[in-house]
Structure 1
Amino acid sequence: MTTNEGTIPVVDLESWLQGSLEDRRRLATDLTGACRRVGFVYVVNHGVPDDLLEEAFGWSKKLFDLPHEMKMLAPHPSGPNVHRGYSWPGLEKVSQNVYGEGEEEKEAENRKVSDFKESYEIGSEKLDLQPNVWLPEEVLPGFRAFMTQFYSRCFDSAKELLRALAIGVGLEDEDFFLRFHSGVNNQLRLLHYPPVDAEKLSSNMLARMPAHTDWGTITMLFQDSCGGLQVEDPVVPGQFVDATPMKNALIMNVGDLLMRWSNDYLKSTLHRVILPPIQTKTRISEKGEGKVMTQARYSIPYFVSPDPEAVIECLTANVGGEDIPAKYEPMVQEDYRRMRARGQYVEAPSAMT
C-alpha cells in the first residue's frame, strides 16, 4: 500500500483478484486499514477497463451537451422518494443535515445557497421502488444500452471490494456483505459541474457540492482531471485535503451504513467539491476585464447500497479482533435512505428555464 500526498492510501486490487491467499489477506488488511484511518482509498487495477471508462465519460458529455429542453424529457421526479433521471442546476441541495417534521424554515435557509451542478441518476431495471427515467431513445441513441451494461460492470468490481472488506474486518465469510447486496439498489450517477464565475463560489453565493457523507455501503468514484474533490483531514477535523485525480484509478469511500455495520470500525468521512485548482478567464465584453470561470468538471460515482429491505445490525463480535457493544440500533436500508433524503429534493420543484 502506498499513499497519495501522504494522506489518501493507494491499493492495488490485482493482488486480490489474482494473488495467493496470503496476497488476498494482505490486500484486505490494507483496504480496511485505509478505511479505518481515512475512509477514502485510491484503487488501481479495479476491473473496470480504461476504454469502458473513457466511453462512459464520452456518453456523459454527450448527455450534458444536450439542450436543456431535451434533457428535461427525463426529469427527476418531484420530491426525495424516487432518485432517478435528470436533475438541473439548483434542484438538488446536498447537505449533512437531517430535517424532521416542522423544520421547513431550517430547510429553506439551507437551500438559499444553490448547488450549481447537474446530474443524471440510473439504477437497476429490476427495482420497482426506484423506476428509471430514461431519455427517449431517439434523443441519445445507445445511451440506455451502454449505461445498463456499465452499471452491471461496476457492480462486478464492487463485489470484489465488498469481499475484501469482509475479510479485512475479521469475518470468516467473504460473501457476508454480498448476501445483503443483490445489486438492484445501487445507483450510477453522471455528474457535470458547468463552468461558473469563480467569484460566486469563493464568496459562497453558489456551491458545487457541500460537505457530506454518503448514505450507503461504499461509493466508487471515477473523476476527470479537473480536481476540486476534498476529503476531511483524518487528523485535523474541520480541515480538508485534496483528493487529487489519479489516472485510471477509482476512489472508494465508506458510506454511513458500512460504518454502522462495522460498529464504527470503518470511517464514513465528510467530503466536498469546491473551487477547482484550474480556472480560465473569459471576456464578458470588449472593454471588460473578463471574469474568472471554473473549468467544467465531470465525475461518475457508483453508489453501492444494501437491498431496500436489508437490516443493518452492528457487527460486535471479533470485528478488528475485539468484542465491542453495539453503538447503533438495527436500521432498515430504505428507512435510512428516506431519512437522509429529506431536504435534498423538495416536493413539486419548478424546473430551471
Structure 2
Amino acid sequence: MSNNPIPIVDFAPFLDGSAKQQTADQLLGSFKSYGFLYLTNFGISNEEVQEMFDLSKRFFALPHESKMLAPYPEARTHHRGYSFPGREKLPDAGDVAEMPLPSVKETFDIGREDDDSMLNVWPPDHILPGFKELCLAFYWKCHEVEKNILRALALGFGLEEEWLVRHHRMPDNNLRLQHYPSIPLESVLTKKVARISNHTDYASLTVLFQDNVGGLEAEDPNEPGRYLAVSPIPNSVVVNAADFLRRWSNDVIRSPMHGVRAPQDMVTEDGMLPDRYSIPYFCAADFSTVVDTIPGTWSADYPKKYEPMSVGKYMLKRLADGY
C-alpha cells in the first residue's frame, strides 16, 4: 500500500473535536484531488461491520428460490430487494462503442422503512430470522457516518457545519449487500462479463465496506485511462464522491471513474476468481429538494456551470439507466 496515493484520513480528530477544521480540510482536499479516500475511526466498530458481512454471506448462500421471495420490482427506478446475477448492466465507460456488459453479481437493496415511494422488499422472517432488523440497524449507523462526512465537507467549504446535512434529512439512501460469485478469470479478461464495468456513482457520496479480496480500481486523476488499485485496508472504509455532488460543487469535487476488475494475485490454481463481498451505502440529497451551486464554489472568474436541479428527477433517471 506504500505506493497507493489515495489519501487515508483519520476521522477521529473530527469526531472528538480535537482537530475538526484540519480534518475537514484534509477530507475536502482528498475529494478535490482524487474523489476517493480511505476513512479510519469513522464511528462503526469492526465487529459491527463483520456482523453485516456474515449476514450478507448467509443471505446469498440461500437457495435461489428463497432469495427470489424478495424479488427486485419490475420498475427500473424501484431499487429494493434481491437482484440476480446479470440483471444490472453498466456501460464500459472506457469504450463507449461497446455494449453494456452483464454485471456478474447479485445484490440486495435496502432503504428507509418509511419511504412510501420506494418500499422495502423483505424475505419472509423464517427464511433468515433477524435479517430485516440487522439490515435496518446498519442502515442507520451508516447514515450517522454520512452526516458526519457531510459536516466535515461543509466546514471544508467554509460553510456552517450543518449546511449539507440540511439537504440530506430524509434520508433517500440505499444500503446494498453485494456478492460477486466465483467466475473464470478468462471470462473477465475477454470481456464476456464484468464484475462492474467502469462507471461513476450517481448521488452525493458512497461509503463502501469491502472484504479482503480486492479488485476495486479508480481512475488516476493525473493520468486518464490509468487505474489505481483501491485495495482493502483493515479497519477502514472507502468513501468516494458521486456525480450529483460534483455538479453541486461546480466541478470542484471529482466524481471518479471506477470499477471492479480481476485481481490477478487472488486467482486460484484452476483459473477462478474467488467470491467477493462488498457493502456500499449510497447517499443522496433529499429527492424533494431543488439544489443550487454550493456557495464559495463559483465567482465572477469561475461562474456557475449548472442550473438548479431537482434531486429526485436527476436520481430517478440515473437509477433507471442501470437496468
TM-score by length of 1: 0.87
Q: Over aligned residues, Cα RMSD in angstroms?
A: 1.9
- AA aligned to 2:7 is P
Contact 2:250 2:298 in 1 (8 A): no
**Does residue 1:237 correspond to 2:216, yes or no?**
no
Hey, what does 1:51 align to over in structure 2? 47
- AA aligned to 2:99 is N
Deviation at 1:293, TM superposition (A): 0.5
Question: Alignment partner of 2:259: what SS?
Answer: strand
Question: Alignment partner of 1:174: what SS?
Answer: coil
Hey, what does 2:156 align to over in structure 1? 168
Hey, what does 2:120 align to over in structure 1? 132
Deviation at 1:322, TM superposition (A): 8.5
Deviation at 1:59, TM superposition (A): 0.3
Contact 1:258 1:266 in 2 (8 A): yes
Separation (CA, whole Å) in 1 of partners of 2:78 and 2:131 = 21
Separation (CA, whole Å) in 1 of partners of 2:88 and 2:74 = 11
- AA aligned to 1:185 is D
Separation (CA, whole Å) in 2 of partners of 1:295 and 1:85 = 24
Change (3 A) 1:279 1:96: closer
Hey, what does 2:310 align to over in structure 1? 332
Hey, what does 1:11 align to over in structure 2? 9
Question: Alignment partner of 1:318: what SS?
Answer: coil
Question: Alignment partner of 1:147: what SS?
Answer: helix
Deviation at 1:19, TM superposition (A): 2.9
Change (3 A) 1:274 1:149: same
Deviation at 1:323, TM superposition (A): 6.6
Contact 2:90 2:103 in 1 (8 A): yes
> 1:1-353 maps to which residues of 2 (within 5 A)?
5-20=3-18, 23-95=19-91, 110-111=99-100, 113-171=101-159, 173-277=160-264, 278-282=266-270, 292-315=271-294, 317-319=295-297, 324-345=302-323
Contact 2:4 2:229 in 1 (8 A): no
Question: Alignment partner of 1:159: what SS?
Answer: helix
C-alpha offsets along residues 123-167 of structure 1, whole Å, 9 cap, x if unaligned?
000111111010110000000000110100111111110000011
Deviation at 1:263, TM superposition (A): 0.8
TM-score by length of 2: 0.95
Contact 1:28 1:165 in 2 (8 A): yes
> Which 4+ runs in 1 deviate beyond 6 A?
320-323
C-alpha offsets along residues 98-145 of structure 1, whole Å, 9 cap, x if unaligned?
xxxxxxxx99x724x311111000000011111101011000000000
Contact 1:170 1:319 in 2 (8 A): no
**Unaligned 5+ runs, structure 2:** none
C-alpha offsets along residues 193-244 of structure 1, whole Å, 9 cap, x if unaligned?
0000110001001111011111111110000000100000010111111001
Bigger radius of gyration, 1 or 2? Answer: 1
| Number of positions where the alignment pairs a residue of Structure 1 with one of Structure 2 | 320
Separation (CA, whole Å) in 1 of partners of 2:3 and 2:309 = 37
Contact 1:229 1:243 in 2 (8 A): yes
Deviation at 1:188, TM superposition (A): 0.2
Separation (CA, whole Å) in 1 of partners of 2:311 and 2:85 = 28
Separation (CA, whole Å) in 2 of partners of 1:323 and 1:35 = 22
Separation (CA, whole Å) in 1 of partners of 2:303 and 2:121 = 43
Change (3 A) 1:211 1:247: same
C-alpha offsets along residues 240-263 of structure 1, whole Å, 9 cap, x if unaligned?
110010011000000111111111
Separation (CA, whole Å) in 1 of partners of 2:4 and 2:258 = 17
Separation (CA, whole Å) in 2 of partners of 1:261 and 1:194 = 36
Separation (CA, whole Å) in 2 of partners of 1:199 and 1:233 = 25
- AA aligned to 1:63 is F
- AA aligned to 1:16 is F
Question: Alignment partner of 2:256: what SS?
Answer: coil
Deviation at 1:314, TM superposition (A): 1.0
- AA aligned to 1:141 is P
Change (3 A) 1:85 1:146: same
Question: Alignment partner of 2:127: what SS?
Answer: coil
Separation (CA, whole Å) in 1 of partners of 2:285 and 2:301 = 24
**Unaligned 5+ runs, structure 1:** 98-105, 283-291, 346-353
